[in-house]
Amino acid sequence: MRKDILRYKESHPLATLQEIGTHFKTSRQYIYKYLKDNDIKQGPTKRRKDSKPIRYCPVCGNPTPKDKNSYNPVVCAKCRFINYNIKVNCAFCHVPFWKKKKDIRFLYKIDYKYMYCSRQCYYKGRADGISSKRKVSDYIF
């Protein structure tokens, strides 16, 4: 097996320690030590495409892994929903529901502060005189 590592390293000079380790089902550290003991020049420990700084999710602080398209998201998948949505209470039935933050910013900008969980509540709220007369029904659902 040890000879195989040397042979593998010779035929794959650009293989990282991690890749060799995976190939031989052993740890990176073991390969490193083995190659060092045998005075073999180390290849790059990391490929260039991985050398970008790791991004950390601003919500949970965990590193955000690249997705299939190797796009590095700002917020991790787990926190994406919570980062872009906010819990608000329906102005009519007071049931909390989730709403996109950018929609809420827009509503505040046009001075519209009433959120409704559903179209029914929106109409009931308007009938009760809760909401203003503004026609923003297209934006609140």
Task: Label residues 70-99 b or e (16+ Cβ within 10 Å = b).
Answer: eeeeebbeebeeebebeebebbbeeeeeeb
CB atoms within 10 A of CB 10: 9
Instruction: Report which DSSP code applies to 119.
Output: H
Contact between 57 and Zn ion per CB under 5 A: yes
Residue among 31 and 76 whose Cβ is closer to Zn ion = 76
Stretch that binds Zn ion, among 9-17, 38-46, 113-121, 128-136 (CB under 5 A): 113-121
Among the listed residues 79, 104, 107, 115, the single contact to Zn ion using CB under 5 A:
79
Alpha carbon distance 16, 58 (integer Å): 30
Residue among 23 and 124 whose Cβ is closer to Zn ion = 124
Binding-site size, Zn ion (CB under 5 A): 10
Stretch that binds Zn ion, among 22-30, 37-45, 49-57, 107-115 (CB under 5 A): 49-57
Alpha carbon distance 32, 17 (integer Å): 6
Contact between 115 and Zn ion per CB under 5 A: no
Positive/negative CA dihedral, 90, 94, 100, 106: positive
Contact between 59 and Zn ion per CB under 5 A: yes
Provide the residue type at 57 as one letter. Answer: C
- CB of 38 vs Zn ion, minimal distance in Å: 42
Positions in the binding site for Zn ion (CB under 5 A): 57, 59-60, 76, 79, 90, 92-93, 117, 121
